[in-house]
């Protein structure tokens, strides 16, 4: 789904037949400006969506920027009604996507210097995959396949349904796409290598087991590790010799970070000169 369509759907969902509070309380001709500020350290992501929400906009922190508490992501100007009506949609996107980018950066920092790369997964919010993978990339993660169509990843159930490792790999040769296969046991590992597999997925191993299996592989294939790997354990897995580590938590469990929108109206309006804040 194109980002413009995602944003339009979000606006329709939130505004519906109209923002009754803003239309009742705020004069139609009132002008205002506003700033998106972070209340905690974040890695910025999602600012590419802001031009789809605002016409008069200045992005002060591009995606991938590290910000400290109190720093600004962007500022906007325009009709006070428009700024207020679109505030929550803008914050929902920024808080979610910056949260993903921030967690992604924590994982990439944790394996720095090992030569291992962190991958995202397809464990994304339905309809938001493109945005969430964009956010993961802003945090330094390497995007894995976007969907079921752009790479072959033979997992346990595929092996079972195909009739075994060899049968699955032979069938996958018909594709010109990259081919990766998950192996569940030592016999499957040896069979995959004997069949010429060049990219192996090892799931749910301990760091010690992963190191042992990677030693058996001996550079004959690139290795991806996955399965319950956390910030506390990811470096041990990287040091076991993995080329890649995939982490579903980066997209399915990232915490929304604390970002707020600070609205100001011209000083000619004394009642609002101190600014307004929508906490909904």
Instruction: Tell me the C-alpha distance between 55 and 273, whole Å.
Output: 23
Verify whether residue 264 is a known catalytic residue.
Answer: no
Q: Do 129 and 148 touch, CB atoms closer than 8 A?
A: no
Instruction: Tell me the C-alpha distance between 248 and 152, whole Å.
Output: 18
Phi, psi of 185 (to 5 degrees): -150, 165
List 38's β-bridge partners, or say none: 259
Tell me which of 30, 88, 166, 211 is the catalytic residue. Answer: 88
Verify whether residue 155 is a known catalytic residue.
Answer: yes
Q: Do 50 and 57 touch, CB atoms closer than 8 A?
A: yes
Verify whether residue 109 is a known catalytic residue.
Answer: no
Verify whether residue 150 is a known catalytic residue.
Answer: no
Contacts of 125-129 with C-beta under 8 Å, sequence gap 24+, read 125/251, 127/1, 127/6, 128/6, 128/96
Tell me which of 35, 77, 122, 155 is the catalytic residue. Answer: 155
Tell me which of 14, 191, 203, 212 is the catalytic residue. Answer: 203
Phi, psi of 19 (to 5 degrees): -85, 90
Verify whether residue 173 is a known catalytic residue.
Answer: no
Tell me which of 30, 31, 117, 123 is the catalytic residue. Answer: 123
Tell me which of 87, 120, 180, 182 is the catalytic residue. Answer: 182
What are the angstrom distances between the C-alpha of 249 and each of 34, 89, 132, 236, 273? 33, 24, 12, 17, 43
Catalytic residues: 88, 123, 155, 182, 203
């Amino acid at each position: 789904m194109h980002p413009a369509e995602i944003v339009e759907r979000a606006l329709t969902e939130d505004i519906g037949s109209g923002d009754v509070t803003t239309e009742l309380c705020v004069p139609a001709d009132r002008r205002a400006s506003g700033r998106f500020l972070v209340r905690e350290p974040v890695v910025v992501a999602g600012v590419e969506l802001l031009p789809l929400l605002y016409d008069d906009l200045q992005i002060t922190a591009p995606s991938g920027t590290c910000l400290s508490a109190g720093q600004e992501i962007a500022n906007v100007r325009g009709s006070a009604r428009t700024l207020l009506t679109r505030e929550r949609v803008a914050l929902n996107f920024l808080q979610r996507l910056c949260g993903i980018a921030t967690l992604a950066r924590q994982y990439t920092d944790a394996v720095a210097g090992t030569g291992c790369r962190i991958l995202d997964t397809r464990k994304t919010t339905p309809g938001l995959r493109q945005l969430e993978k964009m956010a993961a990339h802003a945090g330094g993660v390497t995007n894995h396949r976007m969907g079921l169509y752009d790479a072959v990843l033979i997992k346990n159930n595929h092996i079972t349904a195909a009739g075994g490792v060899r049968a699955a790999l032979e069938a996958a040769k018909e594709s010109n796409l990259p081919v990766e296969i998950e192996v569940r046991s030592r016999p499957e590992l040896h069979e995959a290598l004997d069949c010429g597999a060049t990219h192996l997925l090892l799931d749910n191993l301990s760091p010690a087991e992963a190191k042992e299996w990677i030693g058996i592989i001996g550079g004959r294939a690139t290795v991806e590790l996955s399965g319950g790997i956390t910030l506390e354990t990811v470096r041990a897995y990287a040091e076991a010799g993995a080329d890649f580590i995939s982490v579903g938590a980066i997209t399915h469990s990232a915490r929304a970070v604390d970002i707020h929108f600070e609205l100001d109206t011209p000083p000619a309006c004394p009642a609002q000169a101190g600014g307004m804040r929508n906490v909904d």
